[in-house]
Amino acid sequence: MPLKALDIYKLLPRKNCKECGDPTCLTFAMKLASGKGEVDRCPYLDEQTRNILGSSTRPPIRLVRVGVGERSFAVGDELVQFRHEKTFYHPPGVMVAVSDLWTREKVQEVVARVRDTVIVRVGTDLRLDGVAIRGQSGDPSTFRKAVEAVEDIADLPEVLMAGEPAVMDQGLAVCGHFRPLIHAATPLNHEAMAGLARDYGCPLAVKPDSPGDLEALVARCTDRGVKNLVLDPAASSLHRFQNVSSAIRQQAITRTTPSLGYPVFLDAAATGMQDAAIVTGILRFASVIVVEDPGPASLLALLTLRQNIYTDPQKPIQMTPGVYRVGNPGPDAPVLLTVNFSLTFFTLQGYLEAARVPCFMVIVDTEGLSVLTAVAAGKLSEALVAESLKKFGMESEVSHRSLIIPGYAAPLSGRIEEATGWKAMVGPRDAADIGEYLEKEWKH
C-alpha cells in the first residue's frame, strides 16, 4: 500500500537539515508520497527504513533507460492498465535481432537499416529503437566481434543476449559504458550477471524458469545492488505471455507486489509467430520487444500500431482548420466540406485521392468531433460554415458556388444555403462512396 505523506514524515529524522535539497522533512515526505522523490537523498535513514520507504514511494513501475544519447529510450513509469483510464506514456523499444553467427556484413546490413529507417506518419518520425545481439556461438571472442560490428556503424541502444557471464563480459567490454540491456540473469547465472550489471551500471533483464519465480529472482538481483531491472516472464506461449504480463501490470500499478514494478521484456521472435507476438507485446504492456528483421510490411504496421496505442486518448487528434488540396484543383474543381476530426479527414482524403478527382477540402473547426457527433452537438453549424468559407477565401479559389456537404450534415443543407449563398449538395454518408458520387453528381 502507498504510504501517506504524514506516515512517511514519521519515519524521517524530522531535523529539517535540508541535506536532501528540500526545505523541511515534511516537504520531502510529500515529494516521496507523490512518487517524485528519491529516498536515497536523505543520508540519515537506516537500512530498514530505507527499504520500507523505497518500496512504497517509488513510481509503481520503475523507469529504465536503455542506451545513451539521442536514440536512447526510457520505458516503465506507467500508471494504468487501460489506455482510456489516462494514457500510456513510454512506448516499447523495438529491438531488431542480429546473431554472432552471422557475417560482419550481414550484421551491419541489418544494423544500418535499423539506424536509417524512418517512417513519417501524422507529422511524427517513427523509428525502430535498437539492436539485440544474440550470442548464439557461445564463444566470448565471437560475441565480442559481433558487438564491435554493431558499434562500428551505429550509436543505437543494444540488448546483449548471452547466457554465459564470460560471453557477456566480452560484449560489455565493447559497449558496457553505453548502457546496453543485459539479457539475462537466470537462476543459474544471476550472481555473475548482477555483478556485471552493477559494475557497468547497466539495466538487467531477469529471466526465471517460470513466471512464478520472477519475484524471487528479482529480489536476488536487487540484493546485489542492481536497481534497473526488466522482467522476462519466460512465458511458454502467447496465451501465457498475455496473462502473465497483464498480471504483472496489475500487481505493479496497484502496488500489490512491488517487486514486480519493472518494465516487461518480450522476445517476439522466439514465439514462432512474430507478428502476433508484436501485437500482443504492444497491447499487453511489453516495454522491450526483440524481433527478427520484420520486413517492410510488418515494420509499417507495427510502428503504426505502437503510435496509435501510445497516443493520448484524452486529446482527440485534430486537423488545423483550413483548405486542403487533393491533386491540383482548378477554379471549376469540387469543394467538399468536412470536420477537423483527423480520422474523418484522413479517411475522406484517402478516398478522394483514390478517386483521382482534383478538389478542395474545406476543413472546419468542430473541435475534433466527427460529423455525426458535431451535428448532434451543434458544433457544425451554418454560421461556422459561412465564416470558414469567408476566412479561407474560397470565393476567390473557385468560379462556382457549389459546396458538397457530408451526408450526415444533410439536415443543415437548407440553412447552409441561406447563410452562405452557396448551393449545398448533400454528399454520401460513407466516405467510401465519394468517388462514385463525384463521378455521377459532380460531372453532370
> Given the rule CB under 8 A, which residues bind another protein?
82-84, 121, 211-214, 233, 237-239, 242-244, 246-248, 250-251, 256, 271, 273, 275-276, 278-280, 283-284, 295-298, 300-302, 304-305, 307-309, 311, 313, 317, 341-343, 346-347, 350-351, 353-354, 370, 372-373, 429-433, 436, 440
Min separation Cβ 420 and another protein, Å: 26
Residue 39 CA to residue 127 CA, distance in Å, equals 36
Instruction: Cite the beta strand spans of 127-180 per DSSP E.
Output: 130-134, 158-161
Residue 40 three-state SS:
helix
> Is the Cβ of residue 158 or residue 267 nearer to another protein in the bound state?
267
> Is the Cβ of residue 378 or residue 393 nearer to another protein in the bound state?
378
Query: Which amino acid makes up residue 7?
Result: D
Query: Which amino acid makes up residue 34?
Result: S
Min separation Cβ 209 and another protein, Å: 12
> Is the Cβ of residue 102 or residue 442 nearer to another protein in the bound state?
442
Min separation Cβ 283 and another protein, Å: 5
> Is the Cβ of residue 342 or residue 413 nearer to another protein in the bound state?
342
User: In this structure, what C-alpha cell is assigned to residue 144?
Assistant: 565480442
> Is the Cβ of residue 5 or residue 372 nearer to another protein in the bound state?
372
Min separation Cβ 372 and another protein, Å: 5
> Is the Cβ of residue 123 or residue 393 nearer to another protein in the bound state?
123
Residues 6+ apart with CB under 8 A from 376: none
Min separation Cβ 44 and another protein, Å: 37
Min separation Cβ 88 and another protein, Å: 10
Residue 191 CA to residue 259 CA, distance in Å, equals 18
Q: Phi/psi at 132 (nearest 5 deg)?
A: -105, 125
| Opening angle at CA 269, ends 264 and 273, nearest 5 | 105
SS3 assignment for 41-68: HCCCCCHHHHHHHHHHHCCCCCCEEECC
> Is the Cβ of residue 29 or residue 431 nearer to another protein in the bound state?
431
Min separation Cβ 384 and another protein, Å: 20
Min separation Cβ 181 and another protein, Å: 22
> Is the Cβ of residue 325 or residue 391 nearer to another protein in the bound state?
325
> Is the Cβ of residue 50 or residue 240 nearer to another protein in the bound state?
240
CA 431 vs. chain centroid, Å, equals: 30
Radius of gyration of the chain (CA): 28
Instruction: Cite the beta strand spans of 91-224 per DSSP E.
Output: 93-99, 119-121, 124-126, 130-134, 158-161, 181-185, 204-206
Min separation Cβ 313 and another protein, Å: 5
Residue 403 CA to residue 389 CA, distance in Å, equals 10
Asked if residue 209 lies in contact with residue 234, where contact means CB atoms within 8 angstroms, the answer is yes
Which position has the grid cell 470558414?
388
Min separation Cβ 318 and another protein, Å: 12
> Is the Cβ of residue 25 or residue 96 nearer to another protein in the bound state?
96
Residue 158 CA to residue 181 CA, distance in Å, equals 6
Longest alpha-carbon distance in the chain: 86
Q: What number of residues does the chain have? A: 444
> Is the Cβ of residue 140 or residue 258 nearer to another protein in the bound state?
258
> Is the Cβ of residue 367 or residue 436 nearer to another protein in the bound state?
436
Asked if residue 343 lies in contact with residue 376, where contact means CB atoms within 8 angstroms, the answer is no
Residue 321 CA to residue 365 CA, distance in Å, equals 5
Q: Phi/psi at 68 (nearest 5 deg)?
A: -130, 160
Min separation Cβ 343 and another protein, Å: 3
Query: Which amino acid makes up residue 174?
Result: V
Asked if residue 266 lies in contact with residue 290, where contact means CB atoms within 8 angstroms, the answer is yes
Residue 257 three-state SS:
coil
Min separation Cβ 317 and another protein, Å: 8
Residue 343 CA to residue 373 CA, distance in Å, equals 13
